Structure 1
Amino acid sequence: MSQHTPLRALEHHDAFIERHIGPNEAEIAHMLGVVGYDSLEAMTDAIVPASIKSPAPLALPEALSEEEALARIRAIADRNQVLRSFIGQGYYGTHTPKVILRNILENPAWYTAYTPYQAEISQGRMEALINFQTMIADLTGMEIANASLLDEATAAAEAMTLAKRSARSKSDVFFVHDAVHPQTLEVLRTRAEPMGIVLRVGTPEEALEADSFGVLLQYPDTFGHVGDHKALAEAVHARGGLVAVATDLLALTLIAAPGEWGADIVVGNSQRFGVPFGFGGPHAAFMACRDAFKRSMPGRLIGVSIDAAGNPAYRLTLQTREQHIRREKATSNICTAQVLLAVMASMYAVYHGPEGLTRIARRTHRLAAVLAAALRRAGVAVAGGFFDTLHVTGIDAATLHEKARVAGINLRHIDATSLGISLDETSTREDVTALAGLFGARIDNLDALDLDTPDALPANLRRTSAFLQHPVFNTHHSEHELLRYMRALADKDLAMDRTMIPLGSCTMKLNATAEMIPVTWPQFAGIHPLAPAAQAQGYRELIDGLEAMLVECTGYDAVSLQPNSGAQGEYAGLLAIRAYHRARGEGHRDICLIPDSAHGTNPASAQMCGMTVVVTKTDGNGNVDVEDIRRNAEKYGDRLAAIMMTYPSTHGVFEEEVVEICEIIHRHGGQVYTDGANMNALVGVAKPGKWGSDVSHLNLHKTFCIPHGGGGPGVGPCAVKAHLAPFLPRALGEHGVRTQGVGEGEVGMVSAATFGSASILPISWMYITLMGAAGLRRATQVALLNANYIARRLAPHFDTLYTGRNGLVAHECILDLRPIKDATGISAEDVAKRLIDFGFHAPTLSFPVAGTLMVEPTESESLHELDRFIDAMIQIRDEIRAIEDGRLDREDNPLKHAPHTAVQVSAGEWTHAYPRELAAFPLPSLKQQKYWPPVARVDNVHGDKNVFCSCIPVEAFAGDAEAVGEANAT
């Protein structure tokens, strides 16, 4: 009888699992031996408390191959119908330049990068972001801009709270233009009420007389009108209020910048600068403001400093993530950004330049003006004074919408007798003819009509000021030039395509190519977020399927995918808890217990929901102090609303008493919120919803493989038990807002689009589908193994600060460098910078404990890469020992001067007491492959004392660092 391998074994559907999980079977066995266990199951039993373990495997299908999964999601995508969209309302068609599509959006050098906290290895993406900031400041006419926010609606909410804490007026009223985009108004309502802000909605004329701390205007407004608000701005300022303006970047190439007529804060969305609809996101919003508010502005700000050699260098500046500084006193919990999309938008401006952008805007406006003229000639009423959007009135809207859909066209529904038509970069002459035909207007000669039609922009609001004059926006207009510029920037950075990024709590794992491919399919990218539901059946299937997958992974009962960041997910979860208490007549419950080890967004989110934060203790082993929780739960009794806790803990351990903590909180009438930041240690092993937790946010950009994109995009779904499900965020329907919530405490929208950053949800759907139930559990187990392998291998050299049961850690470990600093003066930051010389991004620095490094290898790192990191850390410890025994100087040593640039180590003169070779090639393997940082250590103090947040002056490129200082002074 012949011997053969069975067909089922040869089909091997688990091949993707082996590609996602770094170590192979032999390597896992070796690592288990180092850690002291004979199987992954035995190690898992030793780490995870029995009280929370899932008794059964995940009820998910078996893993599919990449080809099978792509075929299945292709069938889902094909259920979407991509019509020509003229809906507008803040979302517009755009052409993504193919050189940007291929070399930014589809390039892992950009999409796998982390937030630029380590400045020296982030110079490329920070240059792209400072281009974004310059672009925004120039177009809005403001003095300073941040490096992106989440979407226009939440940016408007941030403007409201910035105005509240910055205005001289003591009023609690925020006046909102009645022609803002509907989704913006909904998010403002959600954000205002818990913070005690009173919204008043009305016309600009009514705003002239209103006593308010601020006014939000839409310019051009949601119906397309371009209004003159200069007198209103003067009146608001006279009362001590501030003027916020939501605007359109493309329009600002033709109409007066808000900063020129009195705006204090300007927000909006950069989506139409080359970023597809994507059913609502991700898109990079922006905020610009007067210089006086820069230290209060939310979000991230890229600034210019100098490095150790005196050369210009970029860095995150001013520590504007206020939730980490002010915690429970913060008025913003903004933690992430939309970096990848901001980079795309900035490159769109670099590619087209001021002349190209103006040409696109003029063409868009001319198409709109010609269409308006044709409609008016046919007796159709069209409002005047517009840029790209026509407000058509006095018509049978329902009949016209149906006629349009038959013709493959979507128009904006306003009411029964009016509709909106928004033209954009993608609109054509044929579109104008077809649109006119819907109304019975015939265009026989479009060119002749064009010649007879004047512009529709108000004459007194035409832009006369220059913008985007810096050389970066006037140099790279050929594809070769832009391609090389983007490559040069990417070469300056360290991303996951080059190296392990061992950041604790941030889960930098494989973002597989197969998972990324569907994102750019037009069936997903080309759907407007307000397209009729019948046209988005594929999205509906994808979203329903992903929600069901997340419910199974977490043990909760319902999920909202609307929150477009982890902090937004926190906020939504706490709003649900607040609304639940209010619906039961217990609205007085306002105390939120938060351990002192918590991420800064936790107390900030609680405060924004109107809760009072009470900080609880952690014990010497890094665990939450259960007795302190018990005392506080009893102390606050019927005021207890919730506890927020991270599990496994922020200190990297599985706490034994988590079930008891849930019982304590429930006994006193509170709800349990579990921060899902560390869900990568739980999937397939334990379910928060089954051990007593009521709600979690999940970071799809961590556990479920959406890439970090240089600091965003992110998705932070809110998962809840059934009793909280009615209080998930509302949805924006086709014709306005429809309610999901019920009762007194229903929760409004927390983000601009119903399904948040919908276009990147296919990534997580693909990940779960490719891994299957068994693969997800194995990924969790290997994540635990990799972390414990690193901790065990480094134990002779560095102390692990906290361990759990059996001396093991969870999926991350905290290395305690404080004794080393006491003995040698070498700090955790010195070690972080020295790791750059080895080609590594640093672990998480000084969080959650100052003077430590938190390491999370994830399951995707191979034994080779883990050992490479361990070898680097051991070599660094040997260098520290050389300082301890006097072989290296305490001040003049490779750690204090790290990182070392190629220019420094190849200079004619070497002035250090240690050898060049030790600086450049501390391990022999680096001679085969070496990353050279583009700048030496960046001077943080100089950057904060000399704030400069736009493109570096041209003179500085010639090595004249004084030019930066002169620019700072001006």
Structure 2
Amino acid sequence: MYRVRHISALAKRGCLNVQSTQTHVRTGAQLSVVKRWSSTLDKLYPGHDSFPERHIGPNEVEKKAMLDFIGMKSIDELIQKSVPANILLDRELKLDEPLGELELIEKLERMANNNEVWRSYIGIGYYNTYTPHTILRNIFENPGWTTQYTPYQAELAQGRLESLLNYQTMVVDMTGLPIANASLLDEATAAAEAMGLCYRHNKRRKFYIDKHCHPQTIGVVETRASALGIDVVRLDWQDMDMSGRDISGILIQYPDTDGHIHDYMELVDSAHANGTLVTCATDLLALTMLRPPGEFGVDIAVGSSQRFGIPMGYGGPHAGFFSTKNEFLRLLPGRMIGVTRDANNKEALRLALQTREQHIRREKATSNICTAQALLANMSAMYAVYHGRQGLKHIGKRVHNATLILAEVLCFCEQVGICRPSDYGSDVSHLNLHKTFCIPHGGGGPGMGPIGVKKHLAPYLPTHPVIPPYGTTGPEAKSFGVVSAAPFGSSAILPISWGYIKMMGAKGLRHASEIAILNANYMSRRLEGHYKTLYTNEQGCVAHEFIIDCREFKKTAGIEVMDIAKRLQDYGFHSPTTSWPVVGTLMVEPTESEDKDELDRFCDALIAIRQEIRDIEEGKYDSKMNPIKMAPHTQAEVLSSNWDRPYSREVAVFPASFVTASTKFWPTVSRIDDIYGDQNLVCTCPPMEMYYESPFVDELAKRKEKSKAAV
């Protein structure tokens, strides 16, 4: 197989004189011969290109050691004791044989060659764009940006938080409204969130939407309204009558879906005179030339930052934006980055107003990884930095001129392998692809959460006004409406999960689940006697994740779960999920990709922290001035000549033998003060003048003045 691929690669470079230079133009007979030859070779000498071997962390020796530790003879015995028999799948998944990475790429190329790539002039919020290579290379292809978790532990994420703050500042500057969030799923869902804000503000159950808004936005807003009991009326913006004082809000598009630009001043004034809020769906590139919505009085601006350097991707992912007036701050949906201070009064950034988060507000939450697009927001923010103010204006004018020219021309002439939810009675299943199916977190999005249903529910699946998905049209269709701007959500990231499944194969997928369960049970057993594991079965086993209870430490030592999360940073770990699904706990999800050494280091860190808690309980450490309460510790703190803490610098920053100077991961700020940040909310970058506070800048200015005077 290697030889065939090698010849194909040389041919593509023009090094060999062969008729067929691309795989997809081979005849069926040729492909059949290659397939039979490859199959024979694989039987005689199997290839080494095994993705599951690289993906799954523990090797055979480590697996046996962990099984011995938890008292199990085999993986099969562990699965039998961990998974209830009535849901355990007793056969392999019906999947093709797994592919190697090169085979997968070749298959993708063959599939992609069936696409016809045309230039799109449809508009409606999606536009051809160019991603600068420096952004592609340094952000989109950089694991430091793509694999990072949501920045709940702000001390470890100051760089990514700064970029998202830059995104918020860009949106604020361009929309003319004082506060913005750090992205939403897309423009249509942002508009639906705006409608929800209007309703929460004045409790009126009627909402106007201009018929010239993008069709997918109208569809999503109407669907969300039906769930909230809000009556949406679709009409021309010039016919909107709010004199009855029963309209919660209105939605207009600027420019509208046909590209027309209207003066909405009188409409906005009329709305406000009758207690109605105004939401303006707008376009960032158009705003390089148009008057910002905030300047003519709108209350909320929403839209998509897709045309700031993000490919269309057959509908996504793209970052939606949302900005509003200060008076609606507490109603703002999604995540917001705010400026605060750390324990040393140093300026720092963090997620502001976290009461909106899923682990606190539960079913009322307005923010999680599936409602944010952090990676795409960062790319769009960097696009603005890359081009600068004048560059963006130039692009806006160029697009405007091109549109005019085109308009003149037109005058003439869209639990894997172990159990299956459907087998044990589930009618609906929601999958989070960003963990189990290898989609990276992106620092808080994009996530993908497809929903599978049984056949009898298929007629009720979401539809779309532009490209209705298969099965959502016809007399049998009973769709409840539209849920996202694009018909298939963030479809551009789905090939990652597809590729993972194709390369793992049925055995690899099942084994990945088995090792995830093994890792979790091993860690839970290692932490016995130090922490209590909640929710084990009658065999004492857990599934692929487990919850350790930290609530008792608040009573015995004044230590809360967030204190433990901060101290873990000193050991080199980002904390597991805190206070979800149980307040005061840590939910540990080791996954199958971690090897035994890494699992042991994490367990050692938690055990060491438990000993530090015990030292507080026994009076060896002060209840307030101790390594846990003062964590995390920065370089600036331990290098300072003033060290007044009742424990050593070594205890602070090298608390375990595996934490060494060569491997130490340093937080850039000390503990974040969330209360101060929420009480003194700042959610944009400081003005440019703040960056000029330097004696060298002052000296340069004086020299320039002297030069002018001399002339």
TM-score, with normalisation over the residues of structure 1?
0.65
Structure 2 partner of 1:122: 157
Matching residue's letter, 1:107: N
Structure 2 partner of 1:260: 295
Cα 1:826/1:328, change in 2 over 3 Å: closer
Structure 1 position 96, deviation (Å): 0.4
Supply the distance in 2 between the matched residues of 1:237 and 1:357 (Cα, whole angstroms): 33
Structure 2 partner of 1:102: 137
Supply the distance in 2 between the matched residues of 1:702 and 1:107 (Cα, whole angstroms): 18
Structure 1 position 216, deviation (Å): 0.4
Structure 1 position 339, deviation (Å): 0.5
Supply the distance in 2 between the matched residues of 1:42 and 1:736 (Cα, whole angstroms): 43
Structure 1 position 112, deviation (Å): 0.4
1:15-26 correspondence to structure 2 within 5 Å: 15-26=50-61
Structure 1 partner of 2:663: 929
Structure 1 position 100, deviation (Å): 0.3
Supply the distance in 1 between the matched residues of 2:554 and 2:337 (Cα, whole angstroms): 30
Contact 1:13–1:64 (Cα < 8 Å) also in 2: no
Matching residue's letter, 2:401: R
Supply the distance in 1 between the matched residues of 2:424 and 2:546 (Cα, whole angstroms): 24
Contact 1:820–1:826 (Cα < 8 Å) also in 2: yes
Structure 2 partner of 1:949: 683
Identify the match of residue 598 of structure 2 among 854, 861, 865: 865
Structure 2 partner of 1:199: 232
Supply the distance in 2 between the matched residues of 1:789 and 1:304 (Cα, whole angstroms): 40
Structure 1 partner of 2:29: none
Does 2:508 match 1:753? no
Identify the match of residue 714 of structure 1 among 434, 447, 470: 447
Matching residue's letter, 1:854: M
Does 2:279 match 1:244? yes
Cα 1:7/1:354, change in 2 over 3 Å: closer
Offset from partner CA, 1:357-413 (integer Å, 9 cap, x none)? 1111011112222333455xxxx2xxxxxxxxxxxxxxxxxxxxxxxxxxxxxxxxx
Contact 2:557–2:616 (Cα < 8 Å) also in 1: yes
Identify the match of residue 292 of structure 1 among 322, 327, 340: 327
Percent identical among aligned pairs is 54
SS at match of 1:805: coil
Contact 2:313–2:491 (Cα < 8 Å) also in 1: yes
Structure 1 partner of 2:313: 278
Structure 1 position 732, deviation (Å): 4.1
1:836-851 correspondence to structure 2 within 5 Å: 836-851=569-584
1:907-926 correspondence to structure 2 within 5 Å: 907-926=640-659
Contact 1:175–1:216 (Cα < 8 Å) also in 2: yes
Contact 2:369–2:447 (Cα < 8 Å) also in 1: no
Contact 2:459–2:477 (Cα < 8 Å) also in 1: no
Cα 1:959/1:360, change in 2 over 3 Å: closer
1:640-719 correspondence to structure 2 within 5 Å: 682-719=415-452
Structure 2 partner of 1:855: 588
Matching residue's letter, 2:673: D
Cα 1:954/1:256, change in 2 over 3 Å: closer
How many residues matched? Answer: 652
Structure 1 partner of 2:547: 814
Q: Which moved more, 1:364-373 or 1:938-947?
A: 364-373
SS at match of 2:547: strand
Structure 2 partner of 1:417: none
Structure 1 position 305, deviation (Å): 0.7
1:349-428 correspondence to structure 2 within 5 Å: 349-373=384-408, 380=411
Structure 1 position 324, deviation (Å): 5.8
Supply the distance in 2 between the matched residues of 1:765 and 1:260 (Cα, whole angstroms): 46
Structure 1 position 852, deviation (Å): 1.5
Q: Which moved more, 1:33-42 or 1:797-806?
A: 797-806
Structure 1 position 737, deviation (Å): 12
Structure 2 partner of 1:549: none
Contact 1:730–1:741 (Cα < 8 Å) also in 2: no
Cα 1:742/1:951, change in 2 over 3 Å: farther
Structure 1 partner of 2:703: none
SS at match of 1:314: strand
Does 2:332 match 1:312? no
SS at match of 1:866: helix
Supply the distance in 1 between the matched residues of 2:478 and 2:454 (Cα, whole angstroms): 16
1:393-542 correspondence to structure 2 within 5 Å: 439=412, 530=414
Contact 1:298–1:320 (Cα < 8 Å) also in 2: no
Offset from partner CA, 1:462-501 (integer Å, 9 cap, x none)? xxxxxxxxxxxxxxxxxxxxxxxxxxxxxxxxxxxxxxxx
Supply the distance in 1 between the matched residues of 2:80 and 2:572 (Cα, whole angstroms): 35
SS at match of 2:232: strand
Contact 1:685–1:780 (Cα < 8 Å) also in 2: yes
Matching residue's letter, 1:950: T
Offset from partner CA, 1:939-964 (integer Å, 9 cap, x none)? 0110111111111456777999xxxx
Does 2:628 match 1:895? yes
SS at match of 1:784: helix
Identify the match of residue 97 of structure 2 among 52, 56, 62: 62
SS at match of 1:773: helix
Offset from partner CA, 1:774-819 (integer Å, 9 cap, x none)? 0000000000000011111111322212211310111112111222
Supply the distance in 1 between the matched residues of 2:492 and 2:680 (Cα, whole angstroms): 39
Identify the match of residue 803 of structure 1 among 523, 533, 536: 536
Structure 1 position 325, deviation (Å): 5.6
Supply the distance in 2 between the matched residues of 1:724 and 1:734 (Cα, whole angstroms): 20
Structure 1 position 844, deviation (Å): 1.2
Structure 2 partner of 1:775: 508
Contact 1:300–1:320 (Cα < 8 Å) also in 2: no
Supply the distance in 1 between the matched residues of 2:556 and 2:577 (Cα, whole angstroms): 22
Cα RMSD for the two superposed structures: 2.3
Cα 1:908/1:710, change in 2 over 3 Å: same
Identify the match of residue 740 of structure 1 among 444, 450, 473: 473
Does 2:73 match 1:38? yes
Matching residue's letter, 1:66: E
Offset from partner CA, 1:751-780 (integer Å, 9 cap, x none)? 111111111110000000010000000000
Matching residue's letter, 1:848: P
Offset from partner CA, 1:587-626 (integer Å, 9 cap, x none)? xxxxxxxxxxxxxxxxxxxxxxxxxxxxxxxxxxxxxxxx
For structure 2, the residue ranges without an aligned partner over 5 or more in a row are: 1-39, 695-711
Contact 1:729–1:741 (Cα < 8 Å) also in 2: no
Structure 1 position 875, deviation (Å): 1.9
Matching residue's letter, 2:51: F
Offset from partner CA, 1:128-156 (integer Å, 9 cap, x none)? 11101110011001010001001111111
Structure 2 partner of 1:143: 178
